[in-house]
């Protein structure tokens, strides 16, 4: 049984990291550096946000979702990201404990959260995260007992190679780009952390969820079959599901086949 005080501290830590992730989500697509300016400003009136107006979740509630200076609405997404990251931190704590393995998975999932929301807003997956993430993931694999360096290499090649093959075949058939290069690099990066089994699980899970959501959106918005849905968020959902529940889901699946 974990100490409630430790759980609370880890949750607060997650909220603070979530606040930082919001900065990344806002600044990276705009080609702005994370550290300049060092303090956050309102995108509308450009006024500097004071520290007491930048407390995760509480400041949003206190200000009723508005900028103190100009009254511009603050997107609810900021609270969603902070809360998601706090919940992920608690999940990591319960699943892996206060270990190096848990820290690696927390950093990995945090990067997925950033890329997910950027992909939703801008239909891009920033190379500034995926390209450095590949060698970092390979190095981190030495500290992951369920992966290891060899499996990380195979996961990277199969992950990136499988989506590259899909994109190549689609282009040959249609002469159009169907799978973005960002998705290819994203799954290659994922492969370094979750290995071959994780990549296979992620491909099937993301395809299933993506198809379900895509068809639902097309029916609701009355779009045709060419309606574009970013695939990066579904890859992230698949990878995160594998980290927390992958072995249980795979075991339950094979038990159904027996």
pLDDT in tens, 154-182: 999 999 999 888 888 877 887 776 666 89
For the whole model, what pTM was predicted? 0.91
The whole-angstrom separation of Cα 14 and Cα 12 is: 5
Q: What is the pLDDT of residue 257?
A: 77
- Are residues 130 and 189 in contact, defined by beta-carbon separation less than 8 angstroms? yes
- Pick from 38, 37, 13: which is nearest to 110 by CA? 13
Q: Which residues make Cβ contacts (< 8 Å) with residue 110, sequence separation at least 6?
A: 17, 21, 85, 88
Give the span between the Cα atoms of 257 and 217, in whole angstroms: 32
CA distance readout (Å), 12 to 91, 150, 245: 13, 36, 24
Tell me what pLDDT residue 42 has. 77
A 10 A CB-CB count for 233 gives 22
Give residue 48's pLDDT: 83
Tell me the C-alpha distance between 186 and 207, whole Å: 15
d(CA 106, CA 111) in angstroms, rounded, equals 9
Q: Which residues pair with 66 in a beta bridge?
A: 73
Instruction: Specify the length of the chain in residues.
Output: 258
Predicted confidence (pLDDT) per residue in 194-227, tens digit? 999 999 999 999 999 988 888 887 777 765 555 5
Per-residue pLDDT of the chain (258 residues; tens, 9 = 90+): 788 999 999 999 999 999 999 999 988 988 777 766 667 777 778 788 887 888 899 999 998 888 888 888 988 999 999 999 999 999 999 999 999 999 999 999 999 999 999 999 999 999 999 999 999 999 999 999 999 999 999 999 999 999 888 888 877 887 776 666 899 999 999 999 999 999 999 999 999 998 888 888 777 776 555 556 788 999 999 999 999 999 999 888 888 876
Residue 168 near residue 120 (C-beta atoms within 8 A)? no
pLDDT attached to residue 20: 94
The Cα–Cα gap between 188 and 42 comes to 36
The answer for residues whose C-beta is within 8 angstroms of residue 228's C-beta and 6 or more apart is 123
Q: What are the E-state strand segments in the chain? A: none
Q: Which pLDDT value is given to residue 167? A: 82
CA distance 110 to 240: 10
The pLDDT assigned to 226 comes to 57
User: What is the distance between the alpha carbons of residues 16 and 54, in angstroms, rounded to a whole number?
Assistant: 10
What is the structure's pLDDT at 119? Answer: 94
41 bridge partner residues: 48
């Amino acid at each position: 049984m974990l100490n409630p005080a430790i759980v609370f501290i880890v949750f607060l830590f997650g909220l603070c990291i979530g606040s930082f992730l919001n900065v990344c989500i806002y600044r990276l697509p705009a080609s702005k550096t994370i550290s300049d300016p060092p303090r956050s400003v309102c995108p509308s009136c450009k006024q500097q946000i004071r520290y007491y107006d930048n407390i995760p979740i509480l400041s949003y509630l206190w200000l009723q979702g508005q900028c103190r200076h100009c009254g511009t609405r603050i997107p609810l997404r900021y609270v969603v990201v902070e809360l998601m990251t706090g919940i992920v931190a608690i999940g990591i704590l319960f699943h892996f404990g206060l270990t190096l393995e848990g820290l690696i998975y927390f950093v990995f999932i945090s990067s997925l959260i950033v890329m997910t929301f950027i992909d939703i807003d801008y239909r891009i997956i920033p190379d500034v995260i995926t390209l450095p993430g590949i060698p970092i993931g390979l190095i981190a694999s030495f500290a992951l007992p369920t992966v290891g360096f060899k499996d990380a290499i195979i996961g990277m090649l199969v992950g990136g190679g499988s989506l590259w093959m899909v994109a190549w075949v689609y282009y040959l058939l249609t002469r159009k780009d169907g799978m973005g290069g960002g998705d290819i690099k994203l799954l290659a990066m994922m492969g370094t952390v979750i290995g071959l089994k994780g990549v296979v699980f992620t491909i099937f899970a993301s395809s299933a969820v993506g198809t379900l959501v895509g068809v639902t959106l097309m029916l609701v918005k009355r779009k045709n079959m060419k309606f574009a849905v970013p695939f990066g968020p579904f890859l992230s959902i698949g990878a995160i599901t594998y980290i927390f529940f992958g072995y249980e889901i795979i075991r339950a699946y094979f038990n159904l086949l027996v």
